[in-house]
Amino acid sequence: MIDQKKTVILYGSQTGNAEELSQLLWRQFKLRGFSGPAIAMDDYDIRNLISEELVIFICSTTGDGEEPDNMKKFWKFLLRKNLPHDSLKKLKFGVLGLGDSSYLKFNFVAKKLNKRLLQLGATQLLDIGLCDYQHDLGNDAIFIPWTAELWKKLSQYGSNPVDTDSTLPSFLPRWNVLKTDFTSDQSIKRTNDLYFPDENNLDCCADKPFIMELKSNIRTTSLEHFQDVRLLEFGPLKETFDGYEPGDVVNLRPRNSKAQVDLFFDIFSDHQLNLHRDDIINVTQIHDDMPVPKYFQKPMLLSQLVEQYWDLSAIPRKYAFSVLAVESENKLEKEKCIEFCSPNGSEDLLNYCNRPRRTILEVLEDFHHSTSKLSLNHLFEMFTSIKPRAFSIASSCKAADRKQIDILVAVVKYFTKLKTERLGLCSNWLKNIPIGMRIFAWVTKGTFVFPKSVNTPLIMIGPGTGLAPFRNVILEQEHLQQASNETLILFFGCRNEKGDFHCGDYLKQMESSGKLALTCAFSRDQDNKIYVQHKIEESGSFLWNLIQKKSGCIFIAGNSKNMPDAVKQSFVQIFIKEGNMTEVDASEYLKRLEVSKQLQLETW
Every domain of the chain and the residues it spans: 8-157, 210-255+387-444, 257-382, 458-603
**Under the phi-then-psi rule, with left for phi > 0, alpha for psi from -120 to 50, and beta for the rest, what region is 234?**
beta
223 band by pLDDT with thresholds 50, 70 and 90: very high
Rounded to whole angstroms, the Cα distance separating 337 from 325 reads 5
Q: Which of 235-244, 294-303, 341-350, 490-499 has the highest mean pLDDT?
A: 490-499
Rounded to whole angstroms, the Cα distance separating 236 from 404 reads 6
Q: What's the CA angle centered on 172, arms 57 and 145, to 5 degrees?
A: 45
Q: What is the per-residue pLDDT across 47-97, written as a single tens digit (0 to 9) for each?
A: 999 999 999 999 998 877 889 889 999 999 999 999 999 999 999 999 999
Q: Which CATH number fits domain 257-382: 1.20.990.10, 3.40.50.300, 1.10.1740.10, 3.90.950.10?
A: 1.20.990.10
**428: part of which helix (H) or strand (E)?**
helix 425-432
Output the CA torsion 309→315→321→322 (10° steps): -60
536 band by pLDDT with thresholds 50, 70 and 90: very high
3-state secondary structure of 281: strand
Fold for the domain defined by 8-157: Rossmann fold (3.40.50)
Q: What is the per-residue pLDDT across 188-204, written as a single tens digit (0 to 9) for each?
A: 666 788 888 877 777 66
Q: What is the per-residue pLDDT across 443-467, written as a single tens digit (0 to 9) for each?
A: 998 889 999 999 999 999 999 999 9
Domain 210-255+387-444 matches domain 458-603 at the CATH topology level: no
207 band by pLDDT with thresholds 50, 70 and 90: confident
Which of 61-75, 114-128, 286-300 has the weakest average pLDDT? 61-75
Q: Which residue has the higher pLDDT, 183 or 139?
A: 139
Cα 320 to chain center, whole Å?
21
CB atoms within 10 A of CB 457: 22
Domain 458-603 bears CATH identifier 3.40.720.10: no
210-255+387-444 is classed in which CATH architecture? Answer: Beta Barrel (2.40)
Average pLDDT rounded to a whole number, residues 378-402: 94
Which of 77-81, 120-124, 273-277 has the weakest average pLDDT? 273-277
Average pLDDT rounded to a whole number, residues 202-230: 89
Residues, the chain: 604
Rounded to whole angstroms, the Cα distance separating 487 from 266 reads 57
Which residues pair with residue 459 across a beta bridge? 489, 554
Q: What is the per-residue pLDDT across 339-369, written as a single tens digit (0 to 9) for each?
A: 998 888 889 999 999 999 999 999 999 999 9
439 band by pLDDT with thresholds 50, 70 and 90: very high
Q: What is the per-residue pLDDT across 234-268, written as a single tens digit (0 to 9) for each?
A: 987 777 788 999 999 999 999 999 999 999 999 99
Whether the per-residue pLDDT at 3 is higher than 60: the answer is no
Whether the per-residue pLDDT at 302 is higher than 50: the answer is yes
Average pLDDT rounded to a whole number, residues 399-411: 93
Please state whether the predicted TM-score (pTM) of the whole model is above 0.85.
Answer: yes
Whether the per-residue pLDDT at 573 is higher than 60: the answer is yes
Average pLDDT rounded to a whole number, residues 410-431: 96
With CA atoms as reference, report the closest residue to 139 among 14, 20, 3, 292. 20
Percent of the chain clearing pLDDT 90 (strictly above): 77
Rounded to whole angstroms, the Cα distance separating 174 from 26 reads 9
Percent of the chain clearing pLDDT 70 (strictly above): 95
Whether the per-residue pLDDT at 32 is higher than 90: the answer is no
